[in-house]
Amino acid sequence: MKSIIKKTALSLMLASCAGGAMAQTLNSGYFMDGFTYRHETNPAYMDDSYFSMPILGQFNVGFRGNFGLENFIFTHPDPTSKYELTTGFHPNISADQFLGELTDNNKLMFTMKTSIFSMGFKGFGGFNTIGLNLRMNMGLNLPYGLFEFAKRGMYGDTNYQLDDLSIRARGWAELALGHARPINENLTIGAKLKFLVGGADLEATLKDAYIDLKQNAWRIKANAEVNASLKGAYFTTDADGEVDGLEVESPGVGGFGLGLDLGATYKFTDGPLEGLKLSAAVLDLGFINWSDNAKAINDGEEFMFDGFKDIAIDDNGNGKKLEDQMDDLGDDLEKLYNVRTDGEIGSRKTMLAATLNFGAEYPLPVYDKLKFGLLSSTYIDGPFTWTEGRLSANVNPTKWFGLGVNYAISTFGSSFGMLLNFHPKGFNFFVGTDCMLSDVNTQFIPLNSNANVMMGVNFILGH
């Protein structure tokens, strides 16, 4: 289990402290004319023909979350300590101070998308795209009761709910073939078919879970499940038959799947709504079927729990190193599952996380190179579902340069975004963000987990 729960959870927590937003497409570019990868937000969009610089055509990495460094890391309360920072589990950090800003479900998600190769060209009565991409998603959903128990323990309530604790990591490659075509002067439709090759899918969940104090001992009862969908993977067990690790022999392709994007745009060309353009898209409808899946479960068996007792140690005013506190937290997360396996390897199917986009844009009547847009996005992925509304202004003063600025309100709060798009004849460079990096501490570490960047270099075949 250490190779699944601990490493996945800690990598997400530490990554949130290093910065980085949950979107594998750049919503800031949805209304930007000439933005090379706009077809990834809606497959009905048609722009200039292009081909990417291999590997460097598009790189997108980021985080979204409703908790981050500012909720988890604190200035050490002892000025004589050799460490500047500590976690909220330090005994001199009050429970109200630590728990006050946490929510019922504390989410942190990481995504990365790299374009190996991409191209778009006109033909077959429309606009065609080909893309080969590597993608990765990671998610962490930690209920309030987990932090409350870890902080208060014996000094607080005697019962804590841990429903919907989820940890996930998924990686795959995709070959995407798209086509968009105008139906008439108003309506354009598009679709993209994706052939998926799975690398790995690791997921651990807790359902109907609670911790209760009985006879001076903490006991847990939960429905727990851990899945490791990875070629050649199997669980190892200790002397009591409990899962204590994951081994991989002869790793390879983990599975295959299909995905589908659908989109449409409609532009009013006369009447009182002349110039208004409406659009809609659904992205990543699909699945991956994993051939080798190792599964371990706990179907409600009650067991003793002795974790969350040494996360923060006040050793003569020196405290405990931040890395050690994080490591202890990861160890204790493993103990919450207490799963067993029958040793059998089977198949498993997982659905992609779908995205719904609805947009409306309108050019300024006295200067049609300036457009205003309103985009609604919904990311559908179980406990990691979120929604966003984004208002943007985009200007293309020349054929070779575009600038967009926008403001968004989402499940995770508000954010500013922007996009710079240089596309002179024969060349394209863009850099943008949906969540601009804002607050940092004195060590220049981001204080929240909402920030991302997307950039790329491509070659334009014509305007």
- Beta-strand runs (E) in 381-450: 386-398, 401-410, 413-422, 428-433
Cα 64 to Cα 413: distance, rounded to the nearest angstrom: 10
pLDDT digits (tens, 9 = 90+) for 328-384: 666 666 777 778 887 788 899 999 999 999 999 999 999 999 999 999 999 999 888
The pTM assigned to this predicted structure is 0.88
What residues contact 173, with CB distance under 8 A and at least 6 apart? 132, 133, 134, 135, 196, 197, 199
Average pLDDT of the residues of the chain: 84
- Which residues of the chain are modeled with pLDDT < 50? 2, 10-23, 313-318, 444
Cα 64 to Cα 431: distance, rounded to the nearest angstrom: 19
Which pLDDT does position 446 carry in this prediction?
A: 54
Which pLDDT does position 21 carry in this prediction?
A: 37
What residues contact 87, with CB distance under 8 A and at least 6 apart? 72, 73, 74, 93, 311, 312, 322, 325, 326, 329
What residues contact 327, with CB distance under 8 A and at least 6 apart? 10
Which pLDDT does position 206 carry in this prediction?
A: 86
| Sequence-separated contacts (24+) of 143-149 with Cβ below 8 Å | 143/104, 143/105, 143/106, 144/99, 144/102, 144/103, 144/104, 144/105, 144/106, 145/210, 145/211, 146/336, 147/88, 147/98, 147/99, 147/102, 147/106, 148/95, 148/99, 149/211, 149/308
Which pLDDT does position 275 carry in this prediction?
A: 94
In DSSP terms, 459 is beta-bridged to 51
175 in Cβ contact with 131 (< 8 Å): yes
* Residue that the structure tokens 């750049």 belong to: 26
Q: Which of 127, 134, 133, 131 is nearest to 176 (CA)?
A: 131
SS3 content of the chain, % helix, strand, coil (to 5): 15, 55, 35
Strand-strand pairing, 413-422 and 401-410 = antiparallel
